[in-house]
Structure 1
């Protein structure tokens, strides 16, 4: 890099692209929905990817730092669990109903981080055999309906180990209250 060339400041980049992942997803969705990479479609994808996050800026939280390796590992775990859970639910529903033992389980939340808790509830909802019913922020717990469980405590431990702990790593959240969001000052300690 030429010493006279000045790299754009991270703060200016954040202002231009406040939510780069959202921008990328919107642009890719536009191209995929149109099934075309014609210049007009690419231009619209670029405009949507840039414009929508700017229009929604007052309602979106600041984009925090994400550990992408942890996010990829968690994605693979969730996809595997969805496949396994579908087979398990198929066996349960096709077998004798007296084997099914549904239960409501309270899962204590390790953090009050809104994204972590919302994604935890979403992951549980996507996994067949469990349905997240309520995120109780006041009591920091998640009420989960399990289709079949003999040991509710083991189910809670599994949810916390397989999904909540990796989500905390993805968003760099310390359960004591500190998270991985950057402040707007642009300075690092």
Structure 2
């Protein structure tokens, strides 16, 4: 069964969305949607991430709380810098952060974290996953930023996704 339907819930959802998008319960639409619902997960199976195993749920909860605080604090800092840009313009820069994290799920989580925190944008990941290029809105000390980023986000993610 897993060979024909590797993701049965995804197939069901695709079939239902196909019918909803076409506003039709015709036999032809139902059959075509069913074929798409079966073929899409089969063809896209190599793109699906590996199963996630959290080895440290406590660290994951701590990281989640840390990110929540960082989102709040970064919003305030970015707003303050924007409001005071005439007195002191922000010093935006691209920063190359060397990475020790290689787990695909961990890298995806790091991308999500970087994206939700104002003031930083995930720009590029090296093909060998060894360096992350970030754009930082306002940066005083590149070395301190890299050390903070690695300790605050990468280290816990490496512990979570062993």
Mapping of residues 1-189 of structure 1, within 5 Å: 55=41, 58=45, 59-66=47-54, 67-97=56-86, 98-138=88-128, 140-171=130-161, 173=162
TM-score, scaled relative to structure 2? 0.68
Aligned 8 A contact 2:52 2:105 in 1: no
| 1:108 Cα offset (Å) | 0.5
Moved over 3 A (4+): none
3-state SS, counterpart of residue 150 of structure 1:
coil
Mapped partners of 1:91, 1:152: distance in 2: 20
Mapped partners of 1:126, 1:96: distance in 2: 22
- Encode CA deviations 1:127-178: one digit per residue, 9 max, x unaligned: 001111011133611000000011011111111000000111111x2xxxxx
Gaps of at least 5 residues in structure 1 are 1-17, 27-50, 174-189
Mapped partners of 1:90, 1:114: distance in 2: 33
Gaps of at least 5 residues in structure 2 are 1-5, 14-36
3-state SS, counterpart of residue 122 of structure 2:
strand
| 1:63 Cα offset (Å) | 1.4
TM-score, scaled relative to structure 1? 0.59
User: Alignment RMSD, CA only?
Assistant: 2.9
**Change over 3 Å in CA distance of 1:121–1:62 after alignment to 2:** closer
